[in-house]
Amino acid sequence: MAPREETHRELQRRMAQFSAFGATAAGGVHRPEATAANAKARRALADWWRETGLEVRVDAIGNMFGLDATAGADAPWLMTGSHIDSQPNGGCFDGTYGVLASTIAANDIRGGRAANATPSVNIAVVAWTNEEGARFQPSVLGSSAYVGAIDLDWALERVDRDGISVAAALDTIGFRGMDKPPPFPAAYVELHVECGPELDRAGRRLAVFNRWWGCRKLEICFEGVPAHTGPTPMAERRDALLAAAHVITGVRALVDEYPAGSFHSSVGRVEVLPNSPNVVPSRATLYLELRSADPEILSTSFERMRAMIEAAAVSAGVRWHMARDELRPPGRLADELQKLAHRVAGDLGEEAMTLDTIAAHDAVPLARVCPSIVVATPSVGGICHSPDEFTKPEDLNLGLDLLSGMLDSIVSGKTAVGSTRKAA
Q: What pLDDT is recorded for position 115?
A: 65
Q: What pLDDT is recorded for position 418?
A: 72
In degrees, to the nearest 5, what angle opens at C-alpha 172 toward C-alphas 170 and 175?
Answer: 40
Q: Compute the Cα dihedral for 423, 363, 103, 132 and give only its sign.
A: positive
Cβ–Cβ < 8 Å for 98, 82: yes
Q: What is the domain partition of the chain in residue ranges?
A: 4-213+331-411, 214-328
The alpha carbon of residue 379 and the mean position of all alpha carbons in its chain are separated, in whole angstroms, by 16
Q: What pLDDT is recorded for position 114?
A: 67
DSSP 165: B
Q: What pLDDT is recorded for position 421?
A: 39
Nearest to 418 by CA among 106, 183, 68: 183
Report the SS3 class of residue 325.
strand
Exposure letters 355-380 (e unless 16+ CB within 10 A, then b): bbbbbbbbbbbbbebbbbbbbbbbbb
The CA–CA distances, whole Å, from 218 to 98, 134, 286, 296, 321 equal 28, 14, 8, 18, 11
The alpha carbon of residue 271 and the mean position of all alpha carbons in its chain are separated, in whole angstroms, by 23
Helix, strand, coil % in the chain, rounded to nearest 5: 35, 25, 40
Partners of 250 in the beta sheet? none
Nearest to 249 by CA among 308, 319, 307, 323: 308
Alpha-carbon distance of 182 to 72, in angstroms, equals 12
Partners of 79 in the beta sheet? 124, 188
The CA–CA distances, whole Å, from 324 to 154, 216, 330 equal 14, 10, 19
Where does 348-420 have alpha helices with state H?
A: 363-366, 393-411
The amino acid at 259: P
The CATH number of domain 214-328 is 3.30.70.270? no
- Pairing state of beta strands 64-68 and 55-58? antiparallel
Cβ–Cβ < 8 Å for 283, 213: no
**Protein fold of 4-213+331-411:** Aminopeptidase (3.40.630)
Report the SS3 class of residue 316.
helix
Q: What pLDDT is recorded for position 44?
A: 98
Phi-psi region of 27 (alpha: psi -120 to 50; beta: other; left: phi over 0): left
Tens of each residue's pLDDT in the chain, 424 residues = 677 899 999 999 999 999 999 999 999 999 999 999 999 999 999 999 999 999 999 999 999 999 999 999 999 999 999 999 999 999 999 999 999 999 999 999 999 876 667 789 999 999 999 999 999 999 999 999 999 999 999 999 999 999 999 999 999 999 999 999 999 999 999 999 999 999 999 999 999 999 999 999 999 999 999 999 999 999 999 999 999 999 999 999 999 999 999 999 999 999 999 999 999 999 999 999 999 999 999 999 999 999 999 999 999 999 999 999 999 999 999 999 999 999 999 999 999 999 999 999 999 999 999 999 999 999 999 999 999 999 999 999 999 999 999 999 999 888 888 753 333 3
Q: What are phi and psi of 28, to 5 degrees?
A: -105, -155
